[in-house]
Amino acid sequence: SDPVAMTDRTTLAKIAKTAMASKSVSFDRDHLADLCVRAVTSVAEPRDAGHYVELDNIQIIKKQGGSMEDTQLLEGIIVDKEKVHSGMPPVVNDARIALLDAALEIKKTEIDAKIEINDPTQLNAFLQEEENMLRKMVETVKKSGATAVFCQKGIDDLAQHFL
Protein backbone atom coordinates (compact mmCIF):
# COMPACT_ATOMS: atom_id res chain seq x y z
CA SER A 1 0.00 0.00 0.00
CA ASP A 2 1.09 3.55 -0.69
CA PRO A 3 0.91 6.28 1.92
CA VAL A 4 -1.68 8.99 1.25
CA ALA A 5 -1.30 12.54 2.51
CA MET A 6 -4.11 13.90 4.68
CA THR A 7 -4.26 16.87 2.34
CA ASP A 8 -4.95 14.64 -0.70
CA ARG A 9 -8.72 14.66 -0.33
CA THR A 10 -9.29 13.34 -3.86
CA THR A 11 -7.41 10.11 -3.16
CA LEU A 12 -8.98 9.80 0.29
CA ALA A 13 -12.44 10.16 -1.29
CA LYS A 14 -11.60 7.45 -3.84
CA ILE A 15 -10.55 5.14 -1.01
CA ALA A 16 -13.80 5.85 0.84
CA LYS A 17 -15.85 5.17 -2.31
CA THR A 18 -14.01 1.89 -2.85
CA ALA A 19 -14.79 0.87 0.73
CA MET A 20 -18.48 1.59 0.07
CA ALA A 21 -18.59 -0.25 -3.26
CA SER A 22 -20.25 -3.35 -1.82
CA LYS A 23 -22.73 -1.36 0.27
CA SER A 24 -26.16 -0.27 -0.92
CA VAL A 25 -25.19 3.40 -1.15
CA SER A 26 -24.03 3.60 -4.75
CA PHE A 27 -26.39 6.48 -5.62
CA ASP A 28 -25.10 8.71 -2.81
CA ARG A 29 -21.51 7.53 -2.60
CA ASP A 30 -19.93 10.91 -3.47
CA HIS A 31 -21.75 12.71 -0.66
CA LEU A 32 -21.00 10.00 1.91
CA ALA A 33 -17.35 9.73 0.83
CA ASP A 34 -16.96 13.49 1.32
CA LEU A 35 -18.46 13.23 4.81
CA CYS A 36 -16.15 10.33 5.67
CA VAL A 37 -13.05 12.19 4.52
CA ARG A 38 -14.07 15.32 6.44
CA ALA A 39 -14.76 13.26 9.58
CA VAL A 40 -11.46 11.38 9.44
CA THR A 41 -9.34 14.44 8.65
CA SER A 42 -10.97 16.41 11.48
CA VAL A 43 -9.94 13.85 14.14
CA ALA A 44 -6.61 12.74 12.64
CA GLU A 45 -3.62 13.35 14.92
CA PRO A 46 -0.09 13.71 13.52
CA ARG A 47 2.11 10.86 14.78
CA ASP A 48 5.61 9.86 13.76
CA ALA A 49 5.72 9.93 9.96
CA GLY A 50 1.95 9.79 9.47
CA HIS A 51 -1.38 10.30 11.18
CA TYR A 52 -3.38 8.38 13.75
CA VAL A 53 -7.18 8.24 13.70
CA GLU A 54 -9.01 7.13 16.84
CA LEU A 55 -12.23 5.78 15.33
CA ASP A 56 -14.01 6.14 18.68
CA ASN A 57 -13.79 9.91 18.07
CA ILE A 58 -16.20 9.50 15.16
CA GLN A 59 -19.71 8.51 16.07
CA ILE A 60 -22.38 7.52 13.59
CA ILE A 61 -25.91 8.15 14.78
CA LYS A 62 -28.77 6.74 12.73
CA LYS A 63 -32.16 8.44 12.70
CA GLN A 64 -35.30 7.17 11.03
CA GLY A 65 -36.80 9.18 8.21
CA GLY A 66 -35.12 11.31 5.61
CA SER A 67 -32.83 10.14 2.85
CA MET A 68 -29.13 9.49 2.50
CA GLU A 69 -28.79 13.04 1.13
CA ASP A 70 -29.87 14.31 4.56
CA THR A 71 -26.78 12.73 6.14
CA GLN A 72 -24.56 15.39 7.64
CA LEU A 73 -21.35 15.79 9.59
CA LEU A 74 -21.71 17.57 12.91
CA GLU A 75 -18.49 18.61 14.59
CA GLY A 76 -18.87 18.67 18.33
CA ILE A 77 -21.03 16.75 20.74
CA ILE A 78 -24.49 15.33 20.17
CA VAL A 79 -26.68 14.95 23.21
CA ASP A 80 -29.58 12.81 22.10
CA LYS A 81 -31.94 13.35 25.02
CA GLU A 82 -35.48 14.59 25.34
CA LYS A 83 -36.32 17.92 26.92
CA VAL A 84 -37.66 17.49 30.44
CA HIS A 85 -40.14 20.34 30.06
CA SER A 86 -42.20 21.23 26.98
CA GLY A 87 -41.50 24.95 27.46
CA MET A 88 -37.78 24.46 26.90
CA PRO A 89 -36.35 25.51 23.52
CA PRO A 90 -35.49 22.72 21.07
CA VAL A 91 -32.15 24.35 20.15
CA VAL A 92 -29.76 26.53 22.16
CA ASN A 93 -27.02 28.21 20.14
CA ASP A 94 -23.81 29.44 21.78
CA ALA A 95 -24.88 27.64 24.95
CA ARG A 96 -23.26 28.02 28.34
CA ILE A 97 -23.52 24.46 29.59
CA ALA A 98 -23.88 23.27 33.17
CA LEU A 99 -23.07 19.60 33.76
CA LEU A 100 -24.52 18.40 37.05
CA ASP A 101 -23.76 15.12 38.75
CA ALA A 102 -26.16 15.89 41.59
CA ALA A 103 -29.94 15.77 41.50
CA LEU A 104 -32.02 18.94 41.36
CA GLU A 105 -34.52 17.54 43.80
CA ILE A 106 -35.06 17.25 47.53
CA LYS A 107 -33.39 14.17 48.94
CA LYS A 108 -35.46 11.90 51.07
CA THR A 109 -33.72 11.31 54.37
CA GLU A 110 -32.13 7.93 54.90
CA ILE A 111 -32.92 7.91 58.58
CA ASP A 112 -36.23 6.49 59.62
CA ALA A 113 -37.79 9.59 61.14
CA LYS A 114 -41.34 10.79 61.49
CA ILE A 115 -42.51 14.34 61.24
CA GLU A 116 -45.65 15.01 63.20
CA ILE A 117 -47.86 17.69 61.72
CA ASN A 118 -50.82 18.73 63.84
CA ASP A 119 -51.85 21.84 61.98
CA PRO A 120 -52.38 22.59 58.24
CA THR A 121 -50.09 25.61 58.57
CA GLN A 122 -47.27 23.31 59.67
CA LEU A 123 -47.76 21.26 56.49
CA ASN A 124 -47.75 24.43 54.39
CA ALA A 125 -44.57 25.61 56.13
CA PHE A 126 -42.91 22.22 55.51
CA LEU A 127 -43.87 22.23 51.80
CA GLN A 128 -42.82 25.88 51.47
CA GLU A 129 -39.40 25.07 52.91
CA GLU A 130 -38.94 22.23 50.38
CA GLU A 131 -39.87 24.66 47.60
CA ASN A 132 -37.41 27.25 48.93
CA MET A 133 -34.63 24.64 48.95
CA LEU A 134 -35.38 23.80 45.31
CA ARG A 135 -35.46 27.49 44.39
CA LYS A 136 -32.01 27.97 45.96
CA MET A 137 -30.61 25.04 43.94
CA VAL A 138 -32.08 26.41 40.71
CA GLU A 139 -30.88 29.95 41.50
CA THR A 140 -27.34 28.62 41.94
CA VAL A 141 -27.51 27.09 38.46
CA LYS A 142 -29.03 30.27 36.98
CA LYS A 143 -26.35 32.49 38.58
CA SER A 144 -23.71 30.42 36.79
CA GLY A 145 -25.02 31.84 33.52
CA ALA A 146 -25.89 28.40 32.15
CA THR A 147 -28.32 28.37 29.24
CA ALA A 148 -28.38 24.57 28.96
CA VAL A 149 -28.39 22.16 31.90
CA PHE A 150 -27.52 18.47 31.68
CA CYS A 151 -28.16 16.55 34.85
CA GLN A 152 -26.93 13.01 35.44
CA LYS A 153 -29.53 12.46 38.13
CA GLY A 154 -33.15 13.56 38.49
CA ILE A 155 -34.69 17.00 38.10
CA ASP A 156 -37.77 17.59 40.24
CA ASP A 157 -40.89 18.76 38.37
CA LEU A 158 -40.93 21.98 40.38
CA ALA A 159 -37.24 22.59 39.65
CA GLN A 160 -37.99 22.12 35.94
CA HIS A 161 -40.63 24.80 36.24
CA PHE A 162 -38.19 27.20 37.96
CA LEU A 163 -35.54 26.62 35.30
DSSP for residue 6: T
pLDDT in the model for residue 31: 93
For position 35, what pLDDT does the model report? Answer: 96
Q: What does the pLDDT read at residue 88? A: 83
Residue spans of the chain under pLDDT 50: none
Q: pLDDT value at position 13?
A: 95
pLDDT at residue 110 in the model: 63
Q: Whole-angstrom Cα distance, residue 22 to residue 29? A: 11
For residues 43 and 58, is the Cβ–Cβ distance under 8 A? yes
**How would you classify the pairing of strands 148-151 and 45-47?**
unpaired
All structural domains of the chain: 9-70 (no CATH), 97-162 (3.50.7.10)
Residue 126 confidence (pLDDT)? 78
E-strand stretches of 3-145: 45-47, 50-52, 97-100
pTM: 0.61
pLDDT at 1: 75
Looking at residue 102, its pLDDT comes to 83
Degrees, nearest 5: CA angle 122-127-133: 125
